[in-house]
């Protein structure tokens, strides 16, 4: 996934809606409706649509800046992780669903050991389907990466299979995790061409420490500001209503 293009895919829309519901509940229901309908605008009193293009440009510039900082801070992790890109291969969908959670440590880390309940770490990853197609990645380009364009903060909430898959992994390590469909998105979401599809992840877990910790927080805020601005929503005003 090419994050730099910042095109709002259906997955990104689902992510924005989920965050809005968690944070604001009924207050954000009207905003969620705007996003679901795919309107990159907010409604004014006379029914016209309006997006503040100046704000979009401002937030895009801020986003690009912090993204560059994140990429630079992630260089060492990228050099380690990218060596295993060749492990992203097609796999047997039926076997993946039947065999439960499967893990394979490609590089053992030397840091703290994670448990399935841990969320105080950061992660780089690639997620792919049985046909080898990548559905999400922290690479700047899934096919021809040159660095990381984002980092994952698991405290936002992870699927059950991810949590089970990182159990016992040490920080600094790289692990391949195979997740059956019922521990991925099950019936709740279509991914990889349908529901109850198994997923594979290549994961590198790293310590949630500065400078990356602070950059990751700044990145997430910059990303959300920009995505909301595309729909004519002022993210900062929304957060003030909490």
Taking residues 127-131, what's their average pLDDT? 98
Sign of the CA dihedral running 39, 55, 139, 175: negative
Q: What is the pLDDT of residues 145-154, one digit of tens each?
A: 999 999 999 9
Q: What is the pLDDT of residues 65-92, one digit of tens each?
A: 999 999 999 999 999 999 999 999 999 9
**What is the pLDDT, as a whole number, of residue 122?**
98
Does 224 or 42 have the greater pLDDT score? 224
**What is the pLDDT, as a whole number, of residue 138?**
98
Q: How confident is the model at residue 128 (pLDDT cuts 50, 70, 90)?
A: very high
Q: How confident is the model at residue 49 (pLDDT cuts 50, 70, 90)?
A: very low
Percentages (nearest 5) of helix, strand, coil residues in the chain: 45, 20, 40
Which helix (H) or strand (E) segment is 216 a member of? helix 212-230
- 53 has a pLDDT exceeding 90: yes
Question: What is the domain partition of the chain in residue ranges?
Answer: 3-240
Count Cβ neighbours within 10 Å for each residue of 131-158 and write b for 16 or more, e otherwise.
Answer: eeebbbbbbbebeebebbbbbbbbeeeb
- 212 has a pLDDT exceeding 50: yes
Fold (CATH) for 3-240: Chitinase A; domain 3 (3.10.50)
Coil, helix or strand for 213?
A: helix
Q: How far is CA 33 from the centre of its chain?
A: 22
How many whole angstroms separate alpha carbon 19 and alpha carbon 111? 30
How many whole angstroms separate alpha carbon 62 and alpha carbon 89? 36
Which helix (H) or strand (E) segment is 98 a member of? helix 93-98
Name the pTM for this structure. 0.79
- 25 has a pLDDT exceeding 60: no
Token pair recorded at residue 31: 């905003």
């Amino acid at each position: 996934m090419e994050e730099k293009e910042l095109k709002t895919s259906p997955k990104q829309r689902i992510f924005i809606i989920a965050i809005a519901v968690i944070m604001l509940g009924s207050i954000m229901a009207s905003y969620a409706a705007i996003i679901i309908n795919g309107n990159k605008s907010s409604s004014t009193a006379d029914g016209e649509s309006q997006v503040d293009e100046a704000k979009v440009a401002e937030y895009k510039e801020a986003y690009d800046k912090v993204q560059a900082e994140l990429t630079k801070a992630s260089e060492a992790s990228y050099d380690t992780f990218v060596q295993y890109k060749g492990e992203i291969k097609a796999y047997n969908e039926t076997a993946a669903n039947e065999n439960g959670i499967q893990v394979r440590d490609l590089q053992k880390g030397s840091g703290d050991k994670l448990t399935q309940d841990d969320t105080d770490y950061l992660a780089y990853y690639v997620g792919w389907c049985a046909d080898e197609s990548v559905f999400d990645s922290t690479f700047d380009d899934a096919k021809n990466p040159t660095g990381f364009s984002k980092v994952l903060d698991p405290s936002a909430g992870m699927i059950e299979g991810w949590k089970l898959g990182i159990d016992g992994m040490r920080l600094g390590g790289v692990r391949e995790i195979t997740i059956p469909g019922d521990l991925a998105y099950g019936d709740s979401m279509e991914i990889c061409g349908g529901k109850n599809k198994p997923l594979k992840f290549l994961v590198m877990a790293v310590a949630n420490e500065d400078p990356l910790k602070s950059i990751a927080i700044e990145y997430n805020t910059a990303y959300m500001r920009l995505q909301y601005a595309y729909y004519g929503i002022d993210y900062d005003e929304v957060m003030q209503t909490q």
